[in-house]
Chains A and B, each alone.
Chain A
Amino acid sequence: MSILEVKGLKKIYTTRLGGNQIQALSSVSFSVEQGEYVAIMGESGSGKTTLLNILAALDKPTGGEVILDGNSIWKVKEKEISAFRRDNLGFVFQDFNLLDTFSIQDNIFLPLVLAGKEYSEMRDRLMPIAKKLKITDILNKYPYEVSGGQKQRTAVARALITRPKLVLADEPTGALDSKATEGLLKVFNEINEDGQTILMVTHSARAASHAARVMFIKDGEVYHQLYRGESTNKDMYRKISDTLTLLATGGEKDA
């Protein structure tokens, strides 16, 4: 069963001055199955971020449809969109987006507090997640007191605690060193094994090589897809590199 279905997504920006139109997405269609781990790759300006913003209901498409678990997200009323986002989607950002005013624990609680959950329930939900992400020791610290890897794991915990249907990750390893990157990717694999659907946007081949499927976007379209099948991370990495080279040198599809 597909949890996310994207049909013919189109986005045209109009520049503020002069009214020039820029097509960010021309026609993007794909679907993500329940429990899948998908990476979306593409160069800067390929439309990755636009796609993610639309999936996150932060931006409106010019045309097309996004169906999350059977509901078209653009039919959700403006007032309920925040609640919808909070209940159905989890976010992990490149620059963590943790609030310095909250402790690690409170940062993780934030979406639940906004949803009006009881403290005891929040606590119950937090414990297994914190254990899995190995952040139990730092729960009472503040974001400025912990390392980048720990920050990103906190952000993951915050994304998971609402038990979202889909976790959207935007360049999650972009601000991490290689060791922290490896740790985070392992975490992603673990939570994916537990059944969490993940959609990750990245331009790191290494990050993408952990996913079960990699989609390449070029010029506002899905250009190519790679399925892991039985291949190892290393094979996957090589395949991704080849594809990226092809994309960069402008070779023909599947050539």
Chain B
Amino acid sequence: MHKLFYPKLAANNIKKNYKTYIPYFITCVITISMYYIMNSLSKNNGIESLVGDASIQFMMLLGCRVIAIFAVIFLFYTNSFLMKRRKKEFGLFNILGMEKKHLTRVIFYETLYIAAGSLVTGILFGVVLDKIMYLAIMKFMGIEVPLGFYIAWESMLAAAELFAVIFLLLFLYSLFQIRLSKPIELLKGGNVGEKEPKAKWFIALLGVVCLAIGYYIAVTTKNPIAAILLFFVAVILVIIGTYLLFTAGSIVMLKLLRKNKSYYYKANHFVSVSGMIYRMKQNAAGLASICILSTMVLVMISSTSSMMIGLDSIMETRSPNDIAMYYRFDDSYEQGTADSQQVRRQVERALAERGATPVNTISYTYLAFSAAQQDDYFNTDLAWVDSGLEDVSNLFFVTLDEYNRFTGENQTLTDNEILVAGNRKAFGYDQLKVFDKNYIIKEQLEEFPGNGVMASDVAKSYFVVVNDTDEIMNLYQLQKEAYADNASTIQSCYGFDLDADDDTQIEIYKDLFNQLAETQFNVMIESRADIRASLMAVYGGLFFLGIFLGVLFVMATVLIIYYKQITEGYEDKERFEIMQKVGMSHDEVKRSIRSQILTVFFLPLMMAGIHIIFAFPIIREILAVLSLTDVKLYITCTIGCFAVFSVLYVLIYILTAKAYYRIVKR
């Protein structure tokens, strides 16, 4: 036999099956190029040195892992689909006299072509897109970069290695499938009589319960720290619930519909309901995956985009001042006050030397520590505070003098009286108990003009105004006893704005930072511009990751849907013909099939919408932790993302439905 027989046959096979191979090839290419891009971005030193933050790289590395895992699962999925479709073909080869070792050769060449082709194309795309992505990220973060071409050889090698292994595994898996089966089985392929699925009441119920608990957690969790932990529990429950509901719940429901004789025996219901029972059996898992992927994409993109957009308002809460300093007191209030004044003067001198004038200055002295809140009592027992993440609140004490000076008001208090304000919600009690003290609340304040460090804290904070310094020192001593090594110090905050652009501000900040580091004072300094840049790096990284994985998931969705449509097209073709013979008109058949496809197609999107609505409360809490409290912005972003996604989804539908009708039409 001619030496080139098998390579040629393999090439021909791919050509002949182009309808299923082209999407598969494109998937391989996109996955490979995505992996290359992520990998190269995670190793690109440019980003780290320019942004000055490694967190974005860490996220890219994480994204890289996600893509790798995803690639394995997804390519296996599509490959098994391909093999299933082609079993008949292999069966024919087998019967025509090809031994399994010959089939092995054919499959080997086919895999080799796809692997080599997609690796080369994928990496080529990757190299081009990589540069564009890199520029986009930099542009996004407001950093100018010189144009230049950059090829990450290391990443190329990583991509080649990973995907070579994946393709090898795919090859072995295909062989395994072929070797296991007898020719007659191969010929029959997927045509083995499908049994009607059983209605699994228990599993359907379990799905409902999982989903209900997941939703309940999402809706009721109010504590942000607990929210982050519970979020994962809720996500897992919802994922399990979705799978169970799609696989078992749908069939239970359809069977209930079928039991209702007067509903079921109507021309349009009759065909649709019975058809759906079969469709759901084959598609449930795929549909559930689409639903979950869609939900993930939507949540990720809408939350990261709202953080990006809301960054400035976040900064407003996080750091009300351009530059803020926190001086830590020792045991003496007077000494501390004097020292902090000295620091302040030094800073002012340094600023004057640079020709910068501080404006909108604020300064106040406070004591802050955390405690486990139990109604109006704040428990300072370490065991409680450490264990019960649940209700940890920060208490933030200032003296009346400071408060009056700060606000220009003229409040008076007795030793036992306090004023209270909360950062997340009002303190709704008449008294506030901490240690052995039992304060009477004279007034609930609307707000306390913020303190950046406190505002950005994850937990609830209460701002408490006490009568005088003695009271603060007293509390200081008490918490020092209670918390020992973990005790807080009294701090003096000094904040001001600068009339300068971000770069100058960061420069001044670094200058001040270095100067203060040389003094003996225990002082911390932060710059809004600096924090903004690093937040931008984190959010920007998350946003890009969101978009990236979003694209990947959307691609997966498209492919799953496309393959489903094609498989079903071939199966429906027969049904379609029989029904016409029995007396169903062409239009009737078409209408019934369309309604089935529409249901199957849009069920995941609908479910994703419901998931997102229920996820809203918990995501709001989590975003609040990240200082984003603009609920409206988040809603707008979510609706926007959902709308864009839906349009995309409908487009996919139209495209794949066309392929489907082409198959069914006779």
Contacts and interface: CB of A to CB of B under 8 A. Distances in A.
A142 B281 CA distance: 16
A69 B194 CA distance: 41
A100 B277 CA distance: 11
B267 A122 contact: no
B585 A82 contact: yes
A99 B579 contact: yes
B270 interface: yes
B265 A91 contact: no
Interface residues of A, number: 31
B3 interface: no
A99 B575 contact: yes
Contacts of B583: 82-83, 85-86, 111, 114-115, 162
Contacts of B275: 101
Given A119-B261, A142-B196, A91 B582 contact: yes
Interface in A37-58: 56, 58
A144 interface: yes
Contact of A97 (B196, B265, B278, B581): B581
A185 interface: no
B568 to A, nearest CB: 12
B474 interface: no
Given A82-B585, A100-B194, A113 B277 contact: no
A115 B578 CA distance: 16
A114 B274 contact: no
A74 interface: no
Interface in A92-140: 93, 97-102, 106, 109-111, 113-116, 118-119, 122
A117 B583 CA distance: 14
B599 to A, nearest CB: 15
Central interface residue in A102, A113, A115, by most chain B CB within 10 Å? A113
B266 interface: yes
B2 interface: no
Contacts of B588: 82, 114
Contacts of B267: 113-114, 116
A28 B277 CA distance: 46
A93 B577 CA distance: 12
A82 B584 CA distance: 6
Interface in B577-600: 578-586, 588
Central interface residue in A99, A106, A144, by most chain B CB within 10 Å? A99
B585 A110 contact: no
Contacts of B261: 119
Contacts of B194: 100, 144
Contact of B277 (A85, A101, A111, A162): A101
A110 B582 contact: yes
A53 B106 CA distance: 43
Nearest to A87: B583
Contact of B582 (A79, A97, A101, A118): A97
Nearest to A158: B582
Nearest to B586: A82
Contacts of A81: 585
A102 B196 CA distance: 9
Contacts of B196: 101, 142
B265 A93 contact: no
A91 B581 contact: yes
A144 B195 contact: yes
A243 to B, nearest CB: 31
Given A109-B265, A113-B265, A100 B585 contact: no
A83 B585 contact: yes
B148 interface: no
Central interface residue in B267, B278, B586, by most chain A CB within 10 Å? B267
Given A99-B579, A114-B583, A119 B265 contact: yes
Interface in B280-306: none
A98 B575 CA distance: 9
Contact of A99 (B262, B266, B578): B578
Contacts of B579: 99, 110
Interface of B: 193-196, 261-262, 265-267, 270, 274-275, 277-278, 575, 578-586, 588
Given A106-B274, A113-B270, A144-B193, 17 more contacts: A79-B585, A81-B585, A82-B580, A82-B584, A83-B583, A86-B583, A91-B581, A97-B578, A97-B581, A99-B575, A100-B278, A109-B265, A109-B270, A111-B582, A114-B583, A142-B195, A142-B196
9 contacts: A79-B585, A97-B578, A99-B578, A99-B579, A101-B274, A101-B275, A113-B265, A118-B265, A144-B193
